[in-house]
């Protein structure tokens, strides 16, 4: 198969690289010339473990190329994937479809032979039909089909998720498009990974329903965590106890500072918006959005309490600012709520993150970037664990305590215990959903 991939972000680049590793001939296009230059030089513009090696292997094998020209990429392509961003539209929570529709118009202008136009971006129900109408209106002679193929990969484990998916979802309207999509995913089909072939609307809904469900699961446990703190229960024990029930499952039950990232916040907002538009309010999803916002604010209150009621004049070391470990992605990260609250309140904030600096430098003005946790903790009044990078999981708490002015810790990922902190000589320790050290 010959595949054109529009967009070389977290989804487009991983998908393009993995498709080329399946043996397909892939051309990735991006309108950002800087990204294309870096990719042509063998450099991956994002941080995703294992991606550079797999990319360079397939470039060397001659199966993977990069270009700024969609026209070149479309030459002889059997399928063109749209993997551009669909951020929240300013003002109303709806997904901003301008990048998707612009890509559709470009395809209409440049394609000449039969092609399957596949939307990989997360798009609200009805969008694939709009893509089809837009292309048909702009180029009535073009022979084409549309397909919906939402992506479920997780940043930080993206290659494995793409190569060994729980399922692949494909929405099609014609047998011809179905055949092309089967060929594209043939290596996964042969290895018995489930492929759900369905209609366009169901494929679009599956993606939003999955993300809203996962966001609800995390938010549910975060709300239970707030109650655990009040009643003296330990949310880690509670999560374990409920997660062993096969109907519930143990994934996505870790209490923390509230979900963030490039998908859950915008996709829950977009689903809520679709519900409003169709007169079927998504009440659970709306509650999830509200409780998640409150969870982030609750974290700020915890930190103020640990700072004796005021950030003013305090020095705080923050470990981790990306929305989760193993990614450089900062979109909607809890750090974007927590850190500005501390800086705004008059704290001096020192930040360490293995990959967050490039994005974080613009997004978190007024902080000092440090290379390691011990340097950040020097003469600090509080240390905050905000992202559970492996580097932060086995710190020498005694050494940290010795370097701090007033050794206090807010462990918002529950990677230590009050006992660990007490034994190391910390004066205060608080986490999420567990009784703080008094
Ligand atoms: P991204 O912002 O990282 O990448 C989008 C890329 O598309 C950018 O490089 C941009 O320059 C390029 N682009 C935009 N318009 C273009 C055009 N007309 N021609 C060529 N290039 C163009 O976005 P992402 O995180 O990869 O997300 C893409 C989509 O996938 C979104 O809809 C998102 O919701 C969905 N998704 C993301 C994830 C994730 O973990 N990031 C997971 C599943 C689904």
The tens digit of pLDDT for each residue in 215-240 reads 999 999 999 999 999 999 999 999 99
Question: Residues with beta carbon inside 6 Å of ligand 1?
Answer: 6-12, 29-32, 35, 83-86, 99, 102-103, 106, 121-122, 151, 153, 155, 262-263
89 in a labelled binding site:
no
Kindly state whether residues 16 and 96 are assigned to the same domain: yes
CA atoms within 13 A on the CB side of 49: 11
Per the confidence metrics, is the pTM higher than 0.95? Answer: yes
Cα dihedral angle (52, 86, 267, 281), rounded to 10 degrees? Answer: -170
Please count the residues of the chain.
438
User: Among the three residues 139, 172, 198, which one is the final residue of a domain in this structure?
Assistant: 198
Query: What is the DSSP code (8-state) at residue 88?
Result: B
The beta-strand segments (E) located in 200-337 are: 315-319
pLDDT at 438 over 90: no
User: Distance of CA 254 to CAs 89, 235, 297, 313, Å?
Assistant: 30, 8, 18, 33
User: Among the three residues 175, 198, 221, which one is the final residue of a domain in this structure?
Assistant: 198
Nearest ligand 1 atom, CA 266: 34
Kindly state whether residues 267 and 390 are assigned to the same domain: yes
120 in a labelled binding site:
no
Look at the alpha carbons of 103, 109, 112, 113 in this order and tell me if their dihedral is positive or negative.
positive
Does residue 333 contact residue 321 with C-beta atoms inside 8 Å?
yes
Q: How far is the CA of 427 from the centre of ligand 1 (A)?
A: 45
High-pLDDT (> 90) share of the chain, %: 98
Kindly state whether residues 173 and 303 are assigned to the same domain: no
Mean pLDDT over residues 358-378, rounded?
97
Q: How high is the ipTM of this complex?
A: 0.99
Chain centroid, CA 14 distance in Å:
13
Kindly state whether residues 206 and 64 are assigned to the same domain: no
Structural domain harbouring 58: 2-198
Q: Helix, strand, coil proportions of the chain in percent (round to 5)?
A: 45, 15, 40
Nearest ligand 1 atom, CA 32: 11
Kindly state whether residues 162 and 210 are assigned to the same domain: no
Mean pLDDT over residues 192-206, rounded?
97
Kindly state whether residues 163 and 228 are assigned to the same domain: no
Kindly state whether residues 274 and 135 are assigned to the same domain: no
Kindly state whether residues 155 and 260 are assigned to the same domain: no
- In angstroms, the CA 203 to CA 123 distance is 10
Mean pLDDT over residues 260-273, rounded?
97
176 in a labelled binding site:
no
Does residue 117 contact residue 104 with C-beta atoms inside 8 Å?
yes
- In angstroms, the CA 423 to CA 89 distance is 49
- In angstroms, the CA 187 to CA 357 distance is 37
Residue 298 DSSP SS3: helix
Q: Which residue of 7, 14, 89 sits with most ligand 1 atoms within 8 Å of its CB, as the best mutation to test the pocket?
A: 7
Tokens describing residue 330: 């900062």
Query: What is the DSSP code (8-state) at residue 354?
Result: T
pLDDT at 110 over 80: yes
pLDDT at 256 over 90: yes
User: Among the three residues 198, 218, 242, which one is the final residue of a domain in this structure?
Assistant: 198
Kindly state whether residues 182 and 257 are assigned to the same domain: no
- In angstroms, the CA 77 to CA 99 distance is 21
Nearest ligand 1 atom, CA 120: 30
DSSP per residue, 39-106? HHTT--SS--TTHHHHHHHHHHTT-EEEES-HHHHHTT-SEEEE----PBPTTT--B--HHHHHHHHH
pLDDT of residue 30: 98
Q: How far is the CA of 324 from the centre of ligand 1 (A)?
A: 18
Banded model confidence at residue 90, pLDDT cuts 50, 70, 90: confident
Q: What is the average pLDDT score of the chain?
A: 97
- In angstroms, the CA 350 to CA 342 distance is 11
What is the domain-level CATH number for residue 394? 3.40.50.720
Kindly state whether residues 236 and 350 are assigned to the same domain: yes
Kindly state whether residues 225 and 135 are assigned to the same domain: no
pLDDT at 388 over 80: yes
pLDDT of residue 437: 85
Kindly state whether residues 214 and 278 are assigned to the same domain: yes
Catalytic residue (one of 228, 263, 307, 370): 263
Does residue 86 contact residue 125 with C-beta atoms inside 8 Å?
no
- In angstroms, the CA 415 to CA 419 distance is 12
pLDDT of residue 331: 95
Q: How far is the CA of 30 from the centre of ligand 1 (A)?
A: 10
pLDDT of residue 303: 98
Q: Which residue of 4, 6, 9 sits with most ligand 1 atoms within 8 Å of its CB, as the best mutation to test the pocket?
A: 9
Banded model confidence at residue 92, pLDDT cuts 50, 70, 90: confident
Per residue in 4-14, pLDDT (tens digit) is: 999 999 999 99
Per residue in 126-177, pLDDT (tens digit) is: 999 999 999 999 999 999 999 999 999 999 999 999 999 999 999 999 999 9
Tokens describing residue 202: 């169901």
Does residue 139 contact residue 245 with C-beta atoms inside 8 Å?
no
Tokens describing residue 189: 């089909």
Residue 281 DSSP SS3: coil
| Catalytic status, residue 263 | yes
Number of domains making up the chain = 2
Does residue 131 contact residue 107 with C-beta atoms inside 8 Å?
no
251 Cβ partners below 8 Å, 6+ apart?
Answer: 243
């Amino acid at each position: 198969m010959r595949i054109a991939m529009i967009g070389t972000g977290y989804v487009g680049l991983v998908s393009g690289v993995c498709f080329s590793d399946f043996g397909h001939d892939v051309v990735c296009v991006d309108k950002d010339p800087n990204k294309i230059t870096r990719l042509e030089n063998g450099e991956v513009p994002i941080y995703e473990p294992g991606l550079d090696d797999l990319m360079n292997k397939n470039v060397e094998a001659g199966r993977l190329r990069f270009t700024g020209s969609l026209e070149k990429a479309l030459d002889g392509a059997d399928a063109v994937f749209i993997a551009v961003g669909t951020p929240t539209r300013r003002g109303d929570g709806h997904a901003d479809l301008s990048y998707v529709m612009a890509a559709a118009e470009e395809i209409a202008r440049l394609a000449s032979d039969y092609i399957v136009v596949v939307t990989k971006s997360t798009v609200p129900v009805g969008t694939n039909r709009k893509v089809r109408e837009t292309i048909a209106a702009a180029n009535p002679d073009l022979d084409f089909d549309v397909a919906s193929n939402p992506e479920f990969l997780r940043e930080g484990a993206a290659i494995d998720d793409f190569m060994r998916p729980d399922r692949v979802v494909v929405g099609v309207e014609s047998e011809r498009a179905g055949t092309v999509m089967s060929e594209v995913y043939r290596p996964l089909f042969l290895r018995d990974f489930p492929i759900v072939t369905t209609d366009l609307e169901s494929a679009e809904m599956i993606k939003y329903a999955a993300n809203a469900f996962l966001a609800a699961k995390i938010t549910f446990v975060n709300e239970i965590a707030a109650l655990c703190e009040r009643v003296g229960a330990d949310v880690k024990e509670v999560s374990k106890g409920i997660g062993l029930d096969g109907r519930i499952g143990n994934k996505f039950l870790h209490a923390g500072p509230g979900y963030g990232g490039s998908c859950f916040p915008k996709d829950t907002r977009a689903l809520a918006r679709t519900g409003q538009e169709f007169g079927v309010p998504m009440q659970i999803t709306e509650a999830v959005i509200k409780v998640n916002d409150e969870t982030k604010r609750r974290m700020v209150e915890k930190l103020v309490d640990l700072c004796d009621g005021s950030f003013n004049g305090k020095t705080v070391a923050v470990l981790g600012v990306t929305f989760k470990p193993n990614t450089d992605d900062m979109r909607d990260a809890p750090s974007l709520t927590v850190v500005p609250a501390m800086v705004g309140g008059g704290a001096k904030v020192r930040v360490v993150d293995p990959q967050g600096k490039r994005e974080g430098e613009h997004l978190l003005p007024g902080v000092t970037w440090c290379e390691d946790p011990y340097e950040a903790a020097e003469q600090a009044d509080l240390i905050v664990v905000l992202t559970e990078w492996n580097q932060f999981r086995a710190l020498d708490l005694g050494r940290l305590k010795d370097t701090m002015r007033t050794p206090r810790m807010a462990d918002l990922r529950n990677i230590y215990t009050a006992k660990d902190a007490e034994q190391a000589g910390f004066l205060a320790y608080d986490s999420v959903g567990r009784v703080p050290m008094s």
